[in-house]
Amino acid sequence: WYCLFFSVRSLACGTVCLGEVLLRIEDRGKVVIGHGLVPDIITAAGKAYLNGLNRHVYLQKEAERK
């Protein structure tokens, strides 16, 4: 796994603040994007990473079906 891009942003909506994390992960030439959006940026980073891993596993299984 290689992290190609990692971005952390703070989104303020009135009295609620959210942390947004966007990342790109590459494995064996395939690039997937992960996204996390929650009030805590550490949790947002974890969710983004898991989101990217889940997308990668999904794409692998779809490729095996064909």
Task: Return the pLDDT at 48.
Answer: 97
Question: Which three-class secondary structure state does DSSP give residue 9?
Answer: strand
Task: Return the pLDDT at 12.
Answer: 85
- Dihedral angle sign, alpha carbons of residues 43, 44, 47, 49: negative
**How do residues 7-63 score in pLDDT, each as one tens digit?**
999 998 788 899 999 999 998 889 999 999 999 999 999 999 999 999 999 999 998
pTM of the model: 0.86
